[in-house]
Chains A and B, each alone.
Chain A
Amino acid sequence: MAAIWALRRSISLSQYLSTAKRSKKRLYIIYAALAVWPLAPLSAQRGNTGRDPHEVQTGSEVFNSICTICHGQEGNQVPGIDLAHGTFHFAKTDQDLIHIIRNGIPGTEMPANNMSEASAAAVVSYLHQMAADNADNTITNGNPDHGKALYQSLGCAKCHRMGEVGSRLGPDLTNIGNLRRSAVLERKLLDPAKDILPENRFVTVVTQSGRTITGRLMNQDTFTVLLMDPSETLLSFDRADLKQVTIEDKSTIMPSYQGKLSNQDVSDLVTYLKQQKGVPVQ
């Protein structure tokens, strides 16, 4: 039941009102939701730079595939250089940054990058997004022990895996502390359907015989769709045998914790997640 309720919580209010038979209990829940309603828009504004979100997304993809090799996910891996707080040694304007990204900085390790002006501009937008996220970041000194307790009581392991515990259906969190900035983890808890990475998407297939299967997308090409079903079985489908293939890039079974967890709880959970740094290598 807990799982069903967790899923239901991510249904929008209007859908909930229109589909639910209004039992007293449900009305109480709606009243309770309305009571906290004014709180929600405040945190929805987090990290808003006024920049085109698609451009920011493109920039994050370029940044994560090229820039992180030296600068790291948080943009601060090169000693003395922090790309994620909006001020730069060699650049005053966005145009300066675009020039540096494309042409490098002579006499330093920063190489020229063979990329279009549009891609470089997207990276600049992403840098501003990182700065805005960091300025807004409320994740400071959370309590990781309480974060761990929350991880367990919220049932995160129903979909996520850490080490050898939990389901493989959602993103593996074993190394999440090395992979994601805390601002991004915070955003994922509050708005999980936003910017789902291709490797974390679900797919729904409908076979010619009418069977519907949803699972984690493992791979796909012109002829085939490969997925992991909820029982963690690896399945491979010939597209010719499918009536419909839907890549779920805008929705997720991950519930939003917007308004459901306090800022302190979110801090605690993110602090715990940031401690997850991969498998022990002896």
Chain B
Amino acid sequence: MTKLLKVLLVWFAAGVSVQLGAQVTSDDLLNAAKEPQNWLTYSGTYMSQRYSTLSQITPENVKNLSLAWVWQNRSLELFEATPLVVNGVMYTVQPPNTVVALDAKTGRVYWTYEYDPSPNSRACCGWVNRGLAILGNTLFMGTLDQRFLAIDAKTGHLLWSTQPEDVPSFERGYSYTVAPLVVKDKVIVSSAGG
């Protein structure tokens, strides 16, 4: 019997259940200020102060900060996304619409989900994206060509993609660059440009 089999046999035998529970609940989002080690929504909390209560970096020691890691963005567009951080995993967007999951400690990549928006997208001010929203194990992103995507936060697989009705066409210069906002079980997103 292979070692792999033995290890997993032990794991199954120990009765460890597969954890399929939600990673980020709407209660977690409501109480995001209680988890300063995480960054669960674009502006940090629903107060939108974008202020971290972590105390390791202070006005006194900030001058001592040094480079911990570098992740090379493979895009020449502007970087405008605020990353989310959930239990040590950092989720961010490489412009225009590529989602990346990194180990926040080392910058190593867990997975990459590439979405190429239509070349006919005409965003006013660069092919940019401001970031993601998360609920459960699902990441949400609006795209430059007015699509709205749900992506599995563990694997980077596309869960669904939709083009909301009654929104003006991206060919007329409308786009989603905003980071979506999750409120309870709803995701709010809005078009820019035109």
- Contact, CB under 8 Å: A172 / B155: yes
Is residue A95 contacting chain B, with contact meaning CB distance below 8 A?
no
Q: How large is the interface on B (under 10, 10 to 19, 20 to 34, 35 or more residues)?
A: 35 or more
Contacts of B18 in A (CB 8 A): 158, 167, 169, 230-232
**Interface residues, chain B, CB within 8 Å of chain A?**
1-5, 7-9, 11-13, 16, 18-20, 87-89, 101, 103, 105-106, 108-111, 152, 154-155, 157-163
- Contact, CB under 8 Å: B4 / A279: no
Contacts of B103 in A (CB 8 A): 224, 226, 234, 236
User: How many Å lie between the Cα of A172 and that of B106 in the bound state?
Assistant: 27
**Interface residues, chain A, CB within 8 Å of chain B?**
3-4, 7-8, 10-11, 15, 19, 158, 161, 163-164, 167-169, 172, 174, 202, 204, 212, 214, 218-219, 221, 223-224, 226, 228, 230-234, 236, 238, 246, 248, 250-253, 279-282
User: How many Å lie between the Cα of A250 and that of B5 in the bound state?
Assistant: 11
- Contact, CB under 8 Å: A168 / B7: no
User: How many Å lie between the Cα of A204 and that of B7 in the bound state?
Assistant: 9
- Contact, CB under 8 Å: B105 / A236: yes
User: How many Å lie between the Cα of A153 and that of B3 in the bound state?
Assistant: 27
Using known A-B contacts A10-B5, A212-B7, determine if residue A168 contacts B159 with beta carbons closer than 8 Å: no
- Contact, CB under 8 Å: B19 / A168: no
Contacts of B158 in A (CB 8 A): 279
Contacts of A280 in B (CB 8 A): 160
State which of B5, B87, B108 has its C-beta within 8 Å of the C-beta of A7: B5
- Contact, CB under 8 Å: B5 / A224: no
CB distance from B182 to the nearest CB of A (A): 17
Contacts of B159 in A (CB 8 A): 163-164, 279
